[in-house]
Amino acid sequence: MNLGNNILLDAYHRMKSIREFEERIHVENTTGEIPGFVHLYAGQEAVATGVCLQLRDSDYIGSTHRGHGHSIAKGCDIKAMMLEIYGKKGGLCAGKGGSMHIADFEKGMLGANAIVGGNPPLVIGAALTAKVKGTDGVAVSFSGDGASNQGTTFEAMNMAVVLKLPVVFIFENNGYGEGTGCDYAVGADSIAKRAESFGMPAVSVDGTDFFAVEAAAREAVTRARTGQGPSAIEASAMRFYGHFEGDPQAYRSADELAELRKTGDCLKIFRARVEKDQLVTADALDQIDREVADLIDEAVDKARKADFPTSDDLLTDVYVSY
């Protein structure tokens, strides 16, 4: 299926936004103004984008500690995300969540989740809501190769098959769970095959190839939306940065990272493909580059200048009523 010009520009906008957002946080993090842990998604943009392009605001995703990319791809407000990451008033979670807990229910973003394997059980719950209410809603769980080894993930996959839930499990294999390679920690040849053994269709795709991810995701989301139950996709794309910002990454060779930037950059791969096939113009992509750069500048500027929450905010929103 040929994707229209608008869809390709939308995809590029989302991917470029994620990249620029993450590259900028990588720089700003060194100023000491960003509190706590940040885990960057750069390198994996084609996965979040290829999947979220299939979804509506009323569909749900569950994300991981490395959740900025999923949030942006699902349509979360970038300035409000930046405010949240800086722990400021006006942040998407009022400064109470931070990088690892960005959520926006109106956009169907059920939350980044700082527990590896935390989201699959929650996501099948969102899928259960769609099933019980008889809507055609879909829920998507993003997990890494690390979470693919968690029992919660196995439980969620099995229950999704048993209850025939409208859910898609995305396994982003970025090569490492923290500082340990997936070749060591995943005791199977393929995460997709393991998912398949739970009784659902599963495929492996090159996660740096937007078109491959998009096609696989379209099929899986359609399957879910039409009542045919869960699917899984293993999408392989290495992360450009460490497990967390500040990670010296001694477990990776310098050669690996250099090669990755050269041959494993999904944005470069996307651009080369669409320019070669004359699907969109270079000018249109350049225009997006400029827009996104400006947007991220504004987001950082706004976040730096914003106020912190006050001590009054400490005690609010523990409960709806108590």
Partner 1 sequence: MSKKTIREALNEALRQEMARDGQVIILGEDVAGGHGGTGVIDAYGGPLGVTKGVIGEFGANRVIDTPISESAIMGAAAGAAATGLRPVAELMFVDFMGVCFDQIFNQAAKFRYMFGGKTKTPMVVRTTIGAGMRTAAQHSQCLYHMFTSVPGLKCVMPSNAYDAKGLLIEAIRDDDPVIFFENKLLYDLACDVPDESYAIPFGEANVVREGGDVTIVAFSRMVHIAEEAAKTLAAEGISVEVIDPRTTSPLDEETILDSVEKTGFLVVVDESAARCGMAADIAGLVVEQAFDALRGPIIQITPPHTPVPFSPPLEDAFIPTAGAVCDAIRKLLK
Nearer to partner 1, 260 or 303 (CB): 303
DSSP-based three-state secondary structure for 232: strand
Look at strands 167-173 and 231-236 and give their pairing.
Answer: parallel
Minimum CB separation from partner 1 for residue 77, in Å?
A: 13
Separation between Cα atoms, residue 102 and residue 82, nearest integer Å: 10
Closest CA relative to residue 279, chosen from 73, 74, 9, 70: 9
End-to-end CA distance of the chain: 53
Select 7 or 94, whichever has its Cβ closest to partner 1: 94
Minimum distance of partner 1 from residue 75's CB (angstroms): 15
Q: At closest approach, how far in Å is the CB of 149 from partner 1?
A: 14
As measured in angstroms, the least distance from the Cβ of 279 to partner 1 is 36
- Tell me the closest approach of the beta carbon of residue 61 to partner 1, in angstroms: 11
* Contacts with 252 (C-beta within 8 Å, 6 or more apart), sequence order: 176
Please give the DSSP secondary-structure letter assigned to residue 240.
S
Question: Closer CB to partner 1, residue 115 or residue 282?
Answer: 115
Question: In this complex, which beta carbon is closest to partner 1, that of residue 51 or of residue 127?
Answer: 127
What is the token pair recorded at 118? 């935390």
The full DSSP string for 51-65 is HHTT--TTSEEE--S
Q: Which is nearer to partner 1, 225 or 271 (CB)?
A: 225
What is the contact surface with partner 1 in residues (CB under 8 A)? 60, 62, 91-97, 101, 103-105, 110-111, 113, 115, 118, 120-133, 139, 151-152, 155-156, 158-159, 162-163, 316-322
